[in-house]
Amino acid sequence: MELPAILKEENVEAAAELLRRYYLEPSRKTGLLSTGSYFDEWANRGDNPQVRDRITDSDAVAVSMLSVKVPAQAIIGLQEELLAGKIQDLLADIPTDVKMSDLTVAEAEATLGEGSPSWLLWQELRRTPKTRWDVGATTASKIMARKRPHLIPIWDKVNWGSRGQRHL
């Protein structure tokens, strides 16, 4: 995996400016902050101890702030799976106190790679539309990032904001 150019060391100041704008600068059109700037903190965060091992309605709302919709069938199905314990068990096995940036390559492979609880959760969320919930890669990454914000990255298409800045 290669880092996007904006995340390379020589672009630290530009990346920091994009983050500052995203989280602190209201839109000229609406006068409001980006809805995505609320994702991390919405409803006391997705990784707080009371909900860190469950996918909740608040997580679906938070994910919608990042311009994707969690299909209603997925919310129903994920809640049913929670009752059976499968998703809760997988989330319980994914650490909440580990940052991706602190992992060695070997630790990242063990924590996020094939066969890990993170990988198994990804597989569970991504079941095909014919067999499950119609959750795509972008939505799955946003759900997982909501639950483990310092460990799981969001994978999304690159688009351009109304002011010409690049958002990931």
| pTM for this predicted structure | 0.82
Give the angle subtended at the CA of 45 by the CAs of 44 and 51, to the nearest 5°. 90
- The residue among 61 and 165 whose pLDDT is bigger is 61
* Residue 15, both tokens: 């990346």
Q: How confident is the model at residue 154 (pLDDT cuts 50, 70, 90)?
A: confident
pLDDT higher than 80, residue 66? yes
Residue 68 identity: V
Backbone dihedral region of 78: left (phi > 0), alpha (psi from -120 to 50 degrees) or beta?
alpha
pLDDT in tens, 89-128: 999 999 999 999 899 989 999 999 999 999 999 998 887 6
Residue 154 identity: I
pLDDT in tens, 156-168: 775 444 433 434 3
